[in-house]
């Protein structure tokens, strides 16, 4: 028997059973396709399956995050809090998988390590770590922008005698922190959710901070019966607001510029935003805070004053005030009591700029000043963002071309959806795609629907091969970089800019997202489709 016969054959293969992969499965099945999903994890949920650390919860309003495609689902599901905790979100994803019977097409515990295009057969073949293989006409990656945990590179990590893990590997069995000495390395959005919760139960907590971030209050609250009824009656309005906004959140930039109003009015506006729930202070701020340094300085100074008021020890407060970047130029961590945590007797902040980590010892973390003895060490050190998931699969297109090599100097795509030289492959929520810089389900629904329409179009016309044209890809890549260049975040190191200090070769700034906003992105995708998939070669 030939090898090809022994491998599964499908119409479409989806890699990933998170929010995007599940919806893509639902839509392609509706189209009558035979679909197979491969998922590394043991169940559905993607980011919500893996990230179970205490304090993990939405930073987008719960009701703006759920799937919008089924009115019945919207009416059936009840979010309990304005910003739901991770266990509830995972229950939600499971509820969706059960309701639409999605699990039967998913092979769990299957990490795809290789994918190659067969030009003669016009199919993709994928291979899993366990040797399992499958073929299909279409390959859709739904692997998430923040799915590859990134450990730091520190001498002696393997010597630590206590319990050490990355936040996305938080132990599934209950972890008793009482009387334990816990260390957390990192102060990004994950750590900012985790730190206050750990501080409440741990015997002692040491936070190792290299770069402080500008954190804003989440102001979470339970959803009462009246609000629940309003939410259920108002989904159309909620989703319309998301559609109209830059990042598909319910918050959109204020049309005024920061300097157009008096200092008193500006202060009152910032105070109002600071007292409101969610990303409003970031996404709903004066529109020039993202592009104008003077405007940005006014909100940064406001935020710095808040930190200095909330943190009692002036020296600690100063360490928590970012000095090297303005507010909102990196992802704003949302916090609940984060700054007050540093007023507790059992919490210590170690500034790694003053005392860099020298090594991990069997007993803890050794900085230039001392050895911090620990029982548990948590790496809240982030992810190999956006392209990291692609790097883990050996993806080979026409003539065996490697995607990793093609992207060695940064991603090149058309609409963040297809890649020249890699026919019939779609990258939902991939690089240079608005969905990676977005209230993800809102934008991934658009990606999925665009891909579904495209496959419907191909089938209706007997088109068996679709590929981004090189010139159109180059034009899109230039557009992505040009629209990011005016934004202040392009002058700051962060995962937005592809900077990963722990991954050799990723220490330079190459923008990975799409900064011109979800509405423009949707328009461009729709225009390409309306013009017979302009920029793509259909054969
Ligand atoms: P992150 O923002 O990349 O933060 C990683 C942290 O680890 C940074 O403080 C970084 O410091 C530090 N770090 C990395 N390597 C280090 C080293 N070798 N030594 C010392 N410190 C080191 O990662 P994250 O906090 O996991 O968040 C990633 C993204 O996930 C967020 O931006 C957000 O988009 C998403 N997220 C979403 C939610 C939500 O929606 N609810 C919650 C959590 C996270 P430097 O800054 O100095 O490199």
Distance between Cα 500 and ligand 1 center (Å):
10
Q: What is the mean pLDDT of residues 77-100?
A: 98
Q: What is the mean pLDDT of residues 112-130?
A: 98
Closest ligand 1 atom number to CA of residue 187: 9
Cα torsion 149, 155, 157, 162 to 10°: value is: -140
Mutating to test ligand 1, I would choose from 83, 148, 164, 189 the residue with most ligand atoms within 8 A of its C-beta, which is: 189
Element holding 118 (H helix, E strand)? strand 112-118
Show Cβ contacts of residue 481 under 8 Å, excluding neighbours closer than 6 positions.
511
Mutating to test ligand 1, I would choose from 83, 188, 506 the residue with most ligand atoms within 8 A of its C-beta, which is: 188
Distances (CA, A) of 363 to 164, 217, 229, 467: 11, 35, 53, 54
Q: How far apart are CA 442 and CA 20, in angstroms?
A: 10
pTM of the predicted model as reported, rounded to 2 decimal places: 0.97
pLDDT of residue 3: 37
Name the closest-CA residue to atom 43, ligand 1: 190
Distance between Cα 190 and ligand 1 center (Å):
6
- Is pLDDT of 1 > 70? no
Distance between Cα 217 and ligand 1 center (Å):
18
DSSP state of 81: B
- Is pLDDT of 12 > 60? yes
Distance between Cα 193 and ligand 1 center (Å):
11
Q: Which residues pair with 402 in a beta bridge?
A: 396
Q: What is the mean pLDDT of residues 357-376?
A: 97
Mutating to test ligand 1, I would choose from 52, 60, 86, 186 the residue with most ligand atoms within 8 A of its C-beta, which is: 186
Mutating to test ligand 1, I would choose from 190, 320, 330, 383 the residue with most ligand atoms within 8 A of its C-beta, which is: 190
Closest ligand 1 atom number to CA of residue 381: 7
Distance between Cα 480 and ligand 1 center (Å):
24
Name the closest-CA residue to atom 46, ligand 1: 211
Cα torsion 434, 436, 441, 446 to 10°: value is: 30
Residue pLDDT, tens place only, 446-468: 999 999 999 999 999 999 999 99
The residue ranking higher by pLDDT, 5 or 172, is 172
pLDDT of residue 4: 35
Distance between Cα 186 and ligand 1 center (Å):
6
Distance between Cα 356 and ligand 1 center (Å):
18
Residue pLDDT, tens place only, 151-170: 999 999 999 999 999 999 99
Distance between Cα 185 and ligand 1 center (Å):
10
Pocket of ligand 1 (CB under 6 A): 57-59, 146, 152, 185-191, 193, 210-211, 331, 352, 380-383, 495, 501-502
pLDDT of residue 504: 87
- Please classify residue 98 by burial: count the beta carbons closer than 10 Å to its beta carbon, then call 0-12 exposed, 13-18 middle and 19+ buried: exposed
Distance between Cα 188 and ligand 1 center (Å):
4
| CA 384 to chain CA centroid, nearest Å | 11
Distance between Cα 323 and ligand 1 center (Å):
17
Distance between Cα 380 and ligand 1 center (Å):
6
Name the closest-CA residue to atom 21, ligand 1: 186
Q: What is the mean pLDDT of the chain?
A: 97
Show Cβ contacts of residue 129 under 8 Å, excluding neighbours closer than 6 positions.
110, 111, 112, 113
Q: What is the mean pLDDT of residues 196-222?
A: 98
Q: pLDDT grade, residue 7 (50/70/90)?
A: confident
- Is pLDDT of 6 > 70? no
Show Cβ contacts of residue 5 under 8 Å, excluding neighbours closer than 6 positions.
none
pLDDT of residue 390: 98
- Is pLDDT of 174 > 70? yes
Q: What is the mean pLDDT of residues 216-244?
A: 98
- Is pLDDT of 2 > 50? no
Distance between Cα 381 and ligand 1 center (Å):
5
Name the closest-CA residue to atom 45, ligand 1: 211
Residue pLDDT, tens place only, 28-49: 999 999 999 999 999 999 999 9
Name the closest-CA residue to atom 25, ligand 1: 188
Name the closest-CA residue to atom 28, ligand 1: 382
Q: pLDDT grade, residue 5 (50/70/90)?
A: very low
Q: What is the mean pLDDT of residues 337-352?
A: 98
- Is pLDDT of 195 > 50? yes
Closest ligand 1 atom number to CA of residue 331: 32
Distances (CA, A) of 310 to 271, 300, 317, 341, 342: 14, 15, 8, 10, 9
Which pair of tokens denotes residue 419? 């890649």
| Main-chain dihedrals φ then ψ at residue 13, nearest 5 degrees | -120, 135
């Amino acid at each position: 028997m030939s090898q090809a016969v022994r491998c599964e054959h499908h119409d479409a293969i989806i890699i990933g059973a998170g929010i995007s992969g599940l919806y893509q499965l639902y839509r392609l099945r509706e189209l009558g396709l035979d679909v197979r999903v491969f998922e590394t994890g043991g169940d559905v949920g993607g980011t919500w399956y893996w990230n179970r650390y205490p304090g993990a919860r939405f930073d987008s309003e719960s009701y703006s995050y759920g799937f919008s495609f089924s009115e019945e689902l919207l009416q059936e599901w009840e979010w309990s809090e304005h910003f739901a905790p991770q266990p509830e979100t995972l229950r939600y994803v499971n509820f969706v998988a059960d309701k639409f019977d999605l699990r039967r097409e998913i092979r769990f515990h299957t990490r795809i390590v290789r994918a190659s295009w067969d030009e003669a057969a016009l199919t993709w073949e994928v291979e899993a770590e366990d040797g399992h293989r499958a073929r299909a006409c279409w390959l859709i990656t739904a692997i998430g922008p923040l799915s590859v945990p990134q450990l730091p590179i520190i001498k002696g990590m393997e010597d630590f005698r206590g319990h050490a893990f990355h936040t996305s590997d938080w132990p599934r069995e209950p972890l008793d922190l009482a009387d334990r000495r816990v260390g957390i390395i990192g102060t990004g959005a994950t750590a900012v959710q985790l730190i206050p919760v750990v501080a409440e139960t741990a015997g002692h907590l040491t936070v190792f901070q290299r770069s402080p971030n500008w954190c804003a209050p989440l102001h979470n609250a339970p959803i009462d019966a009246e609000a629940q009824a309003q939410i259920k009656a108002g989904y159309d309005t909620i989703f319309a607001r998301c559609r109209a906004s830059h990042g598909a959140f319910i918050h959109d930039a204020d049309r005024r510029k920061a300097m157009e109003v008096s200092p008193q009015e500006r202060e009152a506006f910032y105070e109002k935003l600071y007292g409101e729930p969610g990303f409003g202070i970031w996404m709903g701020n004066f529109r020039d805070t993202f592009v104008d340094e003077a405007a940005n300085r006014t909100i940064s100074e406001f935020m710095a004053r808040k930190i200095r008021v909330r943190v009692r020890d002036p020296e600690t407060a100063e360490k928590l005030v970012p000095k090297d970047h303005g507010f909102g130029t990196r992802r704003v961590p949302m916090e609940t009591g984060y700054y007050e945590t540093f007023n507790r007797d059992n919490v210590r902040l170690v500034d790694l700029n003053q005392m860099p980590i020298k090594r991990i010892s069997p007993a803890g973390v050794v900085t230039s000043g001392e050895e911090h003895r620990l029982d548990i060490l948590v790496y809240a050190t982030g992810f190999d963002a956006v392209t990291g998931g692609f790097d883990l699969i050996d993806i080979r297109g026409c003539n065996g071309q490697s995607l990793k090599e093609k992207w060695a100097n940064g991603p090149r795509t058309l609409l963040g959806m297809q890649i020249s030289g890699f026919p019939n492959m779609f990258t939902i929520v991939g690089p240079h795609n608005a969905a990676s810089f977005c209230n993800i389900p809102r934008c991934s629904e658009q990606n999925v629907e665009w891909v579904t329409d495209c496959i419907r179009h191909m089938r209706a016309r007997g088109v068996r091969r679709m590929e981004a044209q090189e010139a159109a890809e180059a034009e899109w890549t230039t557009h992505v970089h040009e629209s990011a260049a005016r934004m202040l975040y392009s002058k700051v190191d962060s995962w937005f800019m592809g900077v990963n200090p722990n991954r050799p070769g990723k220490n330079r700034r190459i923008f990975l997202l799409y900064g011109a906003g979800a509405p423009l992105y949707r328009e461009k995708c729709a225009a390409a489709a309306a013009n017979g998939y302009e920029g793509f070669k259909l054969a």
